[in-house]
């Protein structure tokens, strides 16, 4: 028990430079990285192996003990399909509503053709609909992180377990989702029958 050193070893250079006297606020790199990594269910060593750095580097970055170079931050983020710019601007804790109960959807049509709006109005969201079917036990894996913007969908039949940004829900017919597709997400059909979903994502351009 002779090793009760209080704490600070490396001069916490980043402490004042990064969080302190800045014109444009720089997000908390360490916390962001840790959230992103744990969202993916990766250990520091696993990420380090992917990224081609050591686990110690990951640890120090996550503690904000060092201000990583652009090069090494890029290597770390190559462990995910995420650019530095996206990493710095991504809202890891989605403020926008993610899950919607069936009765929360706004019905905009009736009769032969019927739309039920997910989220408040269209609100300038240019999205493109799709139709998906999941067989029992189907699983997309948890590494599906794509750049393309936004994703939304409605469960038509069956049930689906959806994980978005660390939060998991099981949705059944009539339930819906809406989230920034840069957040890590995963679908699993934990039911016994097919699950049908009508989904949408932002179109390739704009």
Partner DNA sequence: GTCATGTGTTTAAGATACTCAACATTCAGC
Partner DNA sequence: GCTGAATGTTGAGTATCTTAAACACATGAC
Specify the residue, 70 or 112, whose C-beta has the smaller distance to DNA. 70
Cα separation of 57 and 22, whole Å? 24
Cα separation of 33 and 63, whole Å? 10
Q: Which string of b and e fits 99-111 if b means at least 16 CB within 10 Å?
A: ebeeeebeeeeee
Note the Cα 44 to chain centre separation in Å: 18
Binding mask 114-143 for a second copy (x = CB under 8 A): ---------xx-x-----------------
User: For the chain, how far is it from start to end, CA to CA, in angstroms?
Assistant: 60
Nearest to 29 by CA among 3, 61, 60, 59: 61
Within 19-38, which residues bind a second copy (CB under 8 A)?
Answer: 22-24, 26, 29
Among 21, 23, 24, 69, binds DNA (CB under 7 A): 69
Among 57, 181, 189, 199, binds DNA (CB under 7 A): 57
Is 78 one of the binding residues for DNA (CB under 7 A)? no
> Which of a second copy, DNA, none sits in contact with 199, Cβ below 5 to 8 A by type?
none
Structure tokens at 143: 């590494």
Tell me which DSSP letter residue 144 carries. Answer: B
Give the binding-site size for DNA (rule: CB under 7 A): 32
Nearest to 81 by CA among 146, 164, 151: 146
Is 14 one of the binding residues for a second copy (CB under 8 A)? yes
Within 12-31, which residues bind DNA (CB under 7 A)?
Answer: 13-14
Using the rule CB under 8 A, give the single segment among 73-81, 112-120, 176-184, 189-197 that binds a second copy: 73-81
Whose tokens are 């959230």? That residue is 35
Structure tokens at 4: 């009760």
Whose tokens are 């990064």? That residue is 18
> Which of a second copy, DNA, none sits in contact with 55, Cβ below 5 to 8 A by type?
DNA
Cα separation of 90 and 180, whole Å? 9
Is 67 one of the binding residues for a second copy (CB under 8 A)? yes
Closest separation between CB of residue 1 and DNA, Å?
A: 7
Q: List contacts with a second copy (CB under 8 A).
A: 13-14, 17-18, 22-24, 26, 29, 67-75, 77-78, 81-86, 88-89, 123-124, 126, 206
């Amino acid at each position: 028990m002779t090793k009760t050193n209080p704490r600070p070893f490396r001069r916490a250079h980043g402490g004042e430079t990064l969080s302190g006297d800045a014109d444009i606020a720089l997000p908390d790199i360490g916390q962001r990285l840790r959230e992103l990594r744990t969202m993916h269910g990766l250990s520091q060593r696993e990420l380090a192996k992917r990224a081609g750095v050591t686990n110690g580097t990951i640890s120090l970055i996550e503690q904000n003990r060092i201000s990583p170079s652009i090069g090494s931050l890029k290597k770390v983020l190559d462990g995910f399909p995420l650019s530095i710019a996206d990493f710095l601007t991504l809202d890891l804790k989605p403020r926008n509503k993610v899950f919607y109960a069936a009765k929360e959807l706004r019905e905009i049509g009736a009769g032969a053709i019927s739309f039920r709006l997910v989220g408040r109005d269209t609100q300038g969201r240019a999205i493109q609909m799709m139709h998906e079917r999941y067989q029992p036990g189907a699983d997309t894996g948890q590494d599906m992180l794509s750049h393309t913007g936004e994703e939304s969908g409605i469960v038509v039949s069956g049930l689906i377990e959806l994980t978005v940004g660390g939060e998991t829900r099981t949705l059944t017919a009539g339930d819906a989702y809406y989230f920034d597709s840069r957040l890590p997400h995963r679908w699993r059909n934990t039911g016994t029958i097919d699950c049908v979903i009508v989904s949408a994502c932002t179109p390739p351009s704009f």
